[in-house]
Structure 1
Amino acid sequence: MDQALAAAVRELASAEVVAFGGVGLAARILPVTEAFWAVEKALPEQADEIRPHLAWLLANGSPAGKAYAATLLARFDPAAGQAAWGSLSHESAEFTTFHGCIFDRTSLAAYATGQLTAR
């Protein structure tokens, strides 16, 4: 894995916010969103190389980092993503989510349960 991708995984590991697009009135792109996009873009061709890093994020990342890891897993391996969301559905730690200008606090359990029921 190249240095830029390794840096993106480190950024996800300490994430405090989950945002998949621009946030606030200015639609500012957060560094963690850019990191997510970098890993997502690399997945189709480097999935075997990235998968162990996503497993590490699921075990060791911040609550938001775990949410990013499960999201990424679900994008290229739906069964693994489903299993990841299931394992996270019991974690009470909280993080912030952004959807444009709207932010909220949620538990990882609630977020994971929402992902499981959306499928």
Structure 2
Amino acid sequence: MSATVAVAVRELASAEVVAFGGVGLAGRILPVTEAFQTIEEALPERADEVRPHLAWLLANGSPAGKAYAATLLAVFDPEAARAAWGALSHEAAEFTTFHGCIIDRTTLGQYATGQLTAV
């Protein structure tokens, strides 16, 4: 695994926020968003290399880190992503989400359930 992707996985492991684009009025890109994008760019070509790290993130990451891992799984293995979202749908831990200027708090379970109904 490239050092860049390994650093990105470590960044996501302690993520407290889920943001897929710029946040706030300035549209600032957060470090966790950059980490997500780094891993996303490696997929699906390097899926076999990345998959074990996503499995580790699902088991050991912060609630936001787990959400990023399941989202990344969907890039190359929609069935595995759906299973991950199902397993996470009962999690009560909370994290912050950003959608542009909109900030919110949600539980991992609520977020996962939303992902299951969106696909």
Q: Shorter-chain TM-score category?
A: over 0.9
SS at match of 1:96: strand
C-alpha displacement of 1:45? 1.4
Runs of 4+ in 1 over 3 A off after TM superposition: none
Equivalent residue number for residue 71 of structure 1:
71
Equivalent residue number for residue 108 of structure 1:
108
The answer to whether residue 8 in structure 2 is matched with residue 8 in structure 1 is yes
TM-score, normalization: structure 1?
A: 0.99
The share of aligned pairs that are identical, in percent, is 81
The answer to whether residue 72 in structure 2 is matched with residue 59 in structure 1 is no
Which structure's residues are more often strand, by fraction? 1
Structure 2 unaligned blocks of 5 or more: none
C-alpha displacement of 1:62? 0.1
SS at match of 2:20: strand
Equivalent residue number for residue 30 of structure 1:
30
> What's the C-alpha RMSD, in Å, of the aligned pairs?
0.5
* Partner Cα separation in structure 1 for residue 40 and residue 3 of structure 2: 15
C-alpha displacement of 1:74? 1.1
